[in-house]
């Protein structure tokens, strides 16, 4: 098997000697995993970092062997934000959430495109709003989202079971409802309350539907990003 594609590095792990195990969310072939031989050498390690984009070739002799990857840097995104902890953590958060939610060979071209789009907004003053759109879009593509056309500010709550909006909560089922961050999503208003509502919404859907009864956990870097944002917004 031989694949030529472009992709976003979402996971990197140093293995024996100077080799790297990497995962790429590719444009046309879903999640691709393989070894870059010599990838952690002093010369190469600066390129093969989570958050960078590669033009790559993946080759695999048979299904029982791990693939070999050779890649050239397409966009050294991550190095642009080493001195900006907010945007650096945002990038790493996106990559880690893709990593835990997409399996080998699953194809999510729209997630790849939406991730590129979000990264293109990092220099925009509304970049956190774009992050909020991305994180909700991720849930939607995974099958656990809501119909954007049904947004109605008169219906304050989202039902976490059927993803319908409502203005009332049934008391004995109150854990099934969560307040929706309308002011953030509709008006791009970035406040402590709205950011907290966004994170709560995402975490509840993840825990109830995507990682319930599994060994997966919401990544630490996501929580690091959440904490950094909430600590730096006035309550």
Q: What pTM does this model have?
A: 0.91
Q: How many helices and strands (H and E) does the chain possess?
A: 6, 8
Per-residue model confidence (pLDDT) at position 212: 67
- Tell which CATH architecture fits domain 2-76: Beta Barrel (2.40)
The pair of three-digit structure tokens given for residue 8, joined into one six-digit string: 């976003």
The pair of three-digit structure tokens given for residue 86, joined into one six-digit string: 């907010």
Residue count (the chain): 235
pLDDT interval class at 25 (50, 70, 90): very high
Per-residue model confidence (pLDDT) at position 171: 72
Domain boundaries, the chain: 2-76, 80-231
CA–CA separation, 133 vs 72, rounded Å? 30
List, for residues 118-144, the tens digit of each pLDDT value.
999 999 999 999 999 999 999 988 888
CA–CA separation, 114 vs 125, rounded Å? 18
Contact criterion met (CB below 8 Å) for 137 and 145 = yes
Residues 6+ apart with CB under 8 A from 105: 29, 30, 31
Determine the average pLDDT of the residues in 57-68: 86
The pair of three-digit structure tokens given for residue 32, joined into one six-digit string: 């691709």
The alpha carbon torsion through 19, 13, 24, 93 (nearest 10 deg) reads: -150
Q: Which CATH superfamily is domain 80-231 in?
A: Recombination protein O, C-terminal domain (1.20.1440.120)
């Amino acid at each position: 098997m031989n694949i030529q594609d472009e992709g976003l590095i979402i996971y990197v792990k140093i293995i024996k000697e100077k080799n790297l195990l990497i995962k790429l969310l590719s444009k046309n072939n879903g999640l691709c995993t393989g070894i870059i031989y010599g990838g952690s050498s002093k010369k190469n390690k600066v390129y093969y970092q989570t958050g960078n984009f590669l033009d790559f070739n993946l080759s695999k002799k048979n299904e029982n062997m791990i693939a070999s990857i050779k890649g050239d840097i397409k966009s050294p995104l991550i190095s642009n934000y080493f001195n900006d902890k907010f945007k650096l953590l945002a990038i790493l958060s996106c990559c880690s959430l893709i990593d835990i939610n997409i399996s080998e060979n699953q194809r999510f071209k729209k997630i790849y495109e939406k991730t590129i789009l979000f990264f293109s907004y990092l220099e925009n003053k509304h970049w956190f709003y774009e992050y909020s759109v991305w994180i909700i879009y991720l849930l939607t593509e995974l099958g656990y989202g809501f119909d954007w056309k049904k947004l109605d500010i008169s219906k304050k709550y989202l039902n976490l079971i059927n993803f319908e909006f409502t203005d009332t909560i049934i008391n004995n089922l109150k854990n099934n409802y969560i307040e929706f961050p309308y002011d953030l999503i509709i008006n791009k208003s970035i406040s402590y309350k709205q950011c907290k509502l966004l994170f709560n919404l995402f975490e509840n859907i993840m825990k109830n539907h995507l990682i319930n009864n599994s060994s997966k956990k919401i990544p630490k870097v996501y929580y690091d990003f959440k904490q950094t944002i909430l600590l730096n917004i006035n309550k």
